[in-house]
Structures are given as C-alpha cells and as structure tokens.
Structure 1
Amino acid sequence: MKLKYYITGNASHLVEEFYNISYSEKIVPLKSIIIPMGFSSLAFPYSSNQYFYQNKKRRDFKKLTLVGQFYKSYEMCIDSPGFCCGISFKPTTLYKLINLDISQFTNNYVDFYSVKPILSKKLEGLFIKYKNNSEQLFKELANFLNLLPLTENKDTIIIDGVIEEIHKKEGLLSVLEIMETVPFCQKTLETQFKKMVGLTPGKYIRLRRFLSLMKKYEKEQINLKDLIYMYNYYDESHFSKDFKLFTNKIFKKYFKKDYLIVKEALKK
C-alpha cells in the first residue's frame, strides 16, 4: 500500500491535504479500520474493488463520495489492486462550499451527486480527466476550488478562530476556556460549531487530543504511558475510554496489530 500526499497550492486555506492511496497485488485482499481524522473529505475510487462496513452493513465505494466527519471507526476492505484519490478539507471548508448543515453527514458516506449535482459533475470530470496524472489532478482541483464562491461571515470567522486555538493547543483545553474568548453563549457555540464542522466542540477537542497523541506515538515512538500523561489523561483507563470511542478497539490489542492505512495516515 502506498499513501502519497500532494501540495495543496492556492487552495491551502481550504484543503488539509490532497492524497492518492494505491493498493498493490502484494497486500490485497486488505482489511483495515479507518479512524476519525478530524475532517470531512471527497474521495473518488478508480476501481470497484473497495467497500466498507458500517454498523455491520456493507457499503460499496464507487462514485465521488462525501465522507463526513467521523467520531467512530469503520472497516475498509480492498479486494484487488487499485487506487483512490481524494481531498481532505479544513474543518469548516465543506460548510463554506455547500452551505448546508454538515452534521447531517456525520459518521456517514454519501454520494456527492445527491448533495450538489452540478458541483459533483464538475469535480468528477476533473478526477476522470486526470486519472493518470495525480499531480496535475490536484493542481486543477486546487485552481477549481479556489474560484468557487464561499459562505463566509462573522460566525465562520469565529469558529475558524476556535479551531485554530484547539489545534494550537493540541486539544489540551476545555469548552469553558473557549467560552472566555468567543461572543457566543455555550449553546450557540455548540450549534454553530456542529453545523460547520459536524461535531460538537467538546467531541472535536477530545478527538484532536487523541489524534495528537497517536500521531506523536506513530512518528516518534515515544513511550505510550508517557504520552498518556503528557496529554492530560489521568491514567490508562481514562485514555482507554477515548481509544474505544474513536477506534472501537481495545488499545492494548490495537498495538499488537498492523493497521496499514491508519498508521500511514498518522505518520503524516
């Protein structure tokens, strides 16, 4: 399996990463959990060999697909060689692009044509046209996205500021601390944040802290017990609850297995 990231170019304010993930004959069939990574995305498969299981139901992955924010893991399956290209957005980008409540897509995959047919058709055309040239594909996508009209106002500016602070502190803060910096009551903050990001601020903070810990572990191989305390988990039991929430796995068993897709993504 090869996971490659590309320069986001003039769409860097909208896109977290462009990526191409390919599966060779050596590793298929492949099964791997996919854990939530804190962003929504669009993904285009170039073969019909990919599907996933969510709530024990099989879902085939065939068209340009909107991948909502997830706070639960799911299982991805690849039966034969192939590849997929995609766009991982900044947390509020999808809301700005389609001006819809993003929480309706949380923990879900949706055929993007059913959401925005005209936009979907244009994007799909680019994915198909540049099938054999990922670098050019992502340059064209960056140019295209950069020209689209966006829903931006004082509320999006505030929520973007909150997200920036959460990222800066790697999730090591509370909703009460955020409340001291925004002109919202807590209910309004939660409503606006969930509408634009897909998760409540509390859940997003927990996910960001968890991902910060996991990325540091995968990239630097710091002792897990040290990281648990570094990220303000009171003990292993406290960390285990978040681990179970976001991966649906018991953390001691997870580290004994080789989840290729997850570990490659966390090393970025």
Structure 2
Amino acid sequence: MKLTYFEIQKTAHLIEEFYHISYSNKTIPYNTTIIPYGVSSLTFVYCDGQRVSTENNETELKNLVLAGQFFKSYQFSANEVGFSCGISFKPTTLHKLTNLNISKFTNKHVLFEQVHKNISAKLEFIFKNNSNNLIQLFQNLENLLFELPLIENKNTIAVDTAIDFIHQKQGLLSVQELLQIMPFGQKTLETQFKKIVGLTPAKYIRIHRFINLMKQYENKKVNLKDLIYMYDYYDESHFTKDFKSFTSKAPKDFFEEDFSIIVAALKK
C-alpha cells in the first residue's frame, strides 16, 4: 500500500487533503482498520475488489463513494491490484456544497450520485478523464470545487468558529467551554453542529483529541503514558476505553499490528 498526498493550491478553506492510494501485488490482499478522523471524504475507486465492513453490513466500493463522518472504526480490504484517488473535506465543506443534513451519512459509505447527482457527475467526469495524470486530476478537481457555489450563513459561520476553537485547544475542552464563544445555546449548537458536520460537538471534540494524541505518538514526540495525561485522560483505563471505542481494539493489540495506512495518515 502506498499513500501519496497532493498539494492544495487555492481550496485550503474547503479541503483537508487530496490523496492517491495504490495497491500492488506485494500488498494484496490488504486488510486494515480505519479509525475516525473527524472528516468526510470522496474517493473514486478505479479497480474492483475494495470493500468496507462495519458491525452491521458490508459495502463494495465502486466509482465515486462518499464516506461520511465515522465515530467508530470500520474494516477496509483491497483484494486486487489498483488505485483510488480522493478528497478529504474540512468538517463543514460537504454541507456547504450540498446544503444537506450531513448526519444522514454518519457511519456510512454511499455512492455520491445518490447524494448529489449534479456535483457527482462533474466530479466523476474529472476523475475518469485524468486518471493518467494525477497532478492534472487534482488541479482540475480543485478548480471545480473553487467555482462551485457554497451555502454560507450564520449557522455555518458559527460552526466554523466552534471547529477552529476546538482545533486551537487540540480537543482539550468541554462543550460548556465551547458554548461561551457561541452565539446560541446548547440545543441549537448540538442541532446545527450535527447537521453541518455529521457529529455532535462532544463526539467531534473526543475524536479530535484522540487523533492529536495519536499523531504525537506516531511522530515520536512524547511517549504514550505522558500523552495520556497531556490530553486530559484521567488515567490509563479512561484512555483505553476511548481507544477501544475508536479502534475496536485495546492499545496493546492495536500497536502490535501493521496499520500502515493509519500510520501514514497520522505522520502527515
């Protein structure tokens, strides 16, 4: 498995990253756990043999697939040589592009043409016609996304402000602290945040805190025990509970396995 990121020129306000993932004869069959990152994404799958599975179902990945926000891990497998290209969005981007309630896609993979036929057709045209030139592919995608109209109003502005504050604090805050900078109360914050992002504020905070800890660990900046306390986990059992919630594994079991795609993403 090889994961490559591509430069973002003018859509940094919308896009977290552009990426290309390839699977060779040496790496298939490839099986891994995907943990939640606090983003939604679109992936165009150029080959057969890719699947995702959760506790409830299994989905074959074909063409342009939307991965909504996830609060738990899921399993991914690639059983044939090939590659995929995709876009990870900023937390509010998908709502701004579609004006849809993003919580409808939480913990789901769906064909994007079933979500927004018009935008899907434009994106698919670019994916299909630029597969031999990845730099051009992502430039064309960026040009399209830059030109598409966005839904921006007092609610999206407020949620963006909340997300910026969560990121500044590295997830080390409570919903009550978040409410101190919000122009509305807790019920409205919960409703709008879930609609625009796909997760409640509390879940997004937990994910962001956890991902920040994991990035620090994988980049070898601080040892795991020190990180547990730096990121406001009361003790190791509290951390282990969160860890199992997001990865479906205990820390010891997780770190003994080869999760190359997760490690590559965390080290970015």
Query: Does 219-228 or 72-81 show the bigger shift?
Result: 219-228
- Structure 1 SS opposite 2:120: helix
**Aligned residue in 1 for 2:119:** 119
With structure 1 as the length reference, what TM-score do the two structures score?
0.98
**Aligned residue in 2 for 1:258:** 258
Determine the C-alpha separation between the residues in 2 that align with 1:151 and 1:57.
33
1:27-79 deviation per Cα after TM superposition (whole angstroms, max 9, x unaligned): 11110000011100111011012111122532100120111000111110011
Runs of 4+ in 1 over 2 A off after TM superposition: none
Determine the C-alpha separation between the residues in 1 that align with 2:221 and 2:96.
37
- Structure 2 SS opposite 1:20: strand
**Aligned residue in 2 for 1:220:** 220
1:78-132 deviation per Cα after TM superposition (whole angstroms, max 9, x unaligned): 1121110000000000000000000000000011111111211110010011001
**Aligned residue in 2 for 1:247:** 247
- Structure 2 SS opposite 1:220: coil
Whether the 8 Å contact between 1:18 and 1:138 is mirrored in structure 2 is yes
**Aligned residue in 1 for 2:183:** 183
**Aligned residue in 1 for 2:230:** 230
**What amino acid is aligned across from residue 196 of structure 2 in structure 1?**
M
**What amino acid is aligned across from residue 142 of structure 2 in structure 1?**
A
Say if 2:33 is the partner of 1:33.
Answer: yes
**Aligned residue in 2 for 1:98:** 98
**What amino acid is aligned across from residue 20 of structure 2 in structure 1?**
N
* Structure 1: runs of 5+ lacking an equivalent: none
Aligned length: 268
**Aligned residue in 2 for 1:174:** 174
Whether the 8 Å contact between 1:33 and 1:75 is mirrored in structure 2 is yes
Whether the 8 Å contact between 1:167 and 1:208 is mirrored in structure 2 is yes
Determine the C-alpha separation between the residues in 2 that align with 1:221 and 1:77.
31
Determine the C-alpha separation between the residues in 2 that align with 1:7 and 1:68.
23
1:223-244 deviation per Cα after TM superposition (whole angstroms, max 9, x unaligned): 1101101111111101011111
**Aligned residue in 2 for 1:139:** 139
**What amino acid is aligned across from residue 2 of structure 1 in structure 2?**
K
Determine the C-alpha separation between the residues in 2 that align with 1:57 and 1:149.
35
Identity of aligned residues (%): 56
Per the alignment, do residues 222 and 66 of structure 1 end up closer, same or farther by CA in structure 2, a change over 3 Å counting? same
Whether the 8 Å contact between 1:49 and 1:82 is mirrored in structure 2 is no
- Structure 2 SS opposite 1:77: strand
Q: Give 1:221 deviation, angstroms.
A: 5.3
- Structure 2 SS opposite 1:10: coil
**Aligned residue in 1 for 2:75:** 75
**Aligned residue in 1 for 2:55:** 55
* Structure 2: runs of 5+ lacking an equivalent: none
**Aligned residue in 2 for 1:208:** 208
Determine the C-alpha separation between the residues in 1 that align with 2:218 and 2:132.
31
Determine the C-alpha separation between the residues in 1 that align with 2:186 and 2:142.
35
**What amino acid is aligned across from residue 3 of structure 1 in structure 2?**
L
